[in-house]
């Protein structure tokens, strides 16, 4: 296929941004994705109609740093309500998440990890999934800011927050000038009524919803 990859987005909009990822690192990921596609994985990424006779435009779009809850968060959450802001309870992982678009439509995603302190990265996952559409929808919600949320309007950094124990994935927005966070749910079990993907949750709303969700996890 000989497919080259390009980057179509470096941030969200003027009100929000992603962590700054070195271009050289993204180039490495792009080459590795292109190599996998050349070895026959292009069929896995053909999730949208393409123009006959025209090679599909495969693009790396948004790249997000991946964060998780600190280990002591679960103990604290079980013992009592969490205090402070979400930024006090998360830690960055060595992973990066990359949205992939085919002919301008979100189609798949790739994951990479930093191999060492010099910033070298390796690709370890390339998938087609509905997840990319959910993330794209959440990013559009941030772009529009229909709810006129002050944190969203304060140029927050947007990161991916993963909580495997709860089967929850979210976009975490942190406005350093306000030292305040918002959480936009990407995917969560339907039974977690407090974790809906249609609003900007404050840290306390997010903590309360997680506490309720944890109780539901133990129902047999």
pLDDT of residue 40: 52
pLDDT of residue 74: 87
Strand pairing of 58-69 and 6-7? parallel
* Residue 115 buriedness (CB in 10 A; 0-12 / 13-18 / 19+): exposed
Q: Which residue has the higher pLDDT, 99 or 122?
A: 99
Please tell me the distance from the alpha carbon of residue 159 to that of residue 183, in angstroms, as a whole number.
10
CATH code at position 21: 3.10.500
Is residue 190 a contact partner of residue 50, using CB atoms and an 8 Å limit? Answer: no
DSSP 8-class letter at 12: S
Render pLDDT for 141-181 as a digit per residue (tens, 0 to 9).
999 998 999 999 999 999 999 999 899 999 999 999 999 99
Return all residues near 54 (Cβ < 8 A) that are at least 6 apart: none
Q: Which residue has the higher pLDDT, 2 or 52?
A: 52
With respect to residue 192, please indicate whether it lies within any of the assigned structural domains.
Answer: yes
Structure confidence at residue 204 as a pLDDT band (50, 70, 90):
very high
pLDDT of residue 219: 41
With respect to residue 14, please indicate whether it lies within any of the assigned structural domains.
Answer: yes
With respect to residue 173, please indicate whether it lies within any of the assigned structural domains.
Answer: yes
pLDDT of residue 136: 93
With respect to residue 1, please indicate whether it lies within any of the assigned structural domains.
Answer: no
Domain that holds residue 52: 6-217
- The number of distinct structural domains making up the chain is 1
pLDDT of residue 220: 36
pTM, 2 dp: 0.83
220 token code pair: 């047999």
3-state helix, strand, coil in the chain (%, to 5): 30, 35, 35
Q: Which of these, 65, 95, 86, lies nearest to 174 by C-alpha position?
A: 86
pLDDT above 90 covers a percentage of the chain that reads: 46
Please tell me the distance from the alpha carbon of residue 135 to that of residue 67, in angstroms, as a whole number.
15
């Amino acid at each position: 296929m000989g497919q080259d990859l390009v980057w179509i987005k470096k941030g969200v909009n003027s009100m929000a941004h992603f962590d700054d990822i070195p271009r050289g690192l993204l180039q490495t990921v792009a080459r590795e994705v292109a190599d996998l596609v050349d070895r026959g994985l292009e069929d896995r990424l053909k999730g949208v109609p393409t123009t006959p006779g025209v090679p599909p435009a495969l693009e790396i779009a948004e790249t997000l740093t991946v964060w998780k809850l600190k280990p002591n968060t679960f103990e604290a959450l079980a013992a009592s309500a969490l205090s402070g802001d979400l930024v006090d309870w998360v830690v960055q992982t060595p992973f990066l998440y990359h949205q992939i678009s085919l002919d301008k439509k979100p189609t798949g995603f790739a994951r990479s990890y930093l191999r060492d302190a010099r910033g070298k990265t390796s690709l370890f996952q390339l998938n087609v999934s509905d997840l990319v559409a959910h993330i794209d929808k959440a990013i559009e919600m941030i772009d529009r800011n229909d709810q006129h949320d002050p944190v969203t309007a304060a140029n927050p950094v947007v990161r991916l927050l993963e909580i495997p124990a709860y089967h929850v994935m979210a976009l975490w927005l942190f406005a350093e000038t306000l030292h305040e966070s918002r959480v936009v749910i990407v995917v969560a079990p339907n039974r977690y009524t407090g974790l809906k993907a249609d609003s900007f949750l404050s840290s306390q709303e997010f903590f309360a919803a997680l506490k309720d969700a944890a109780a539901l996890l133990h129902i047999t």
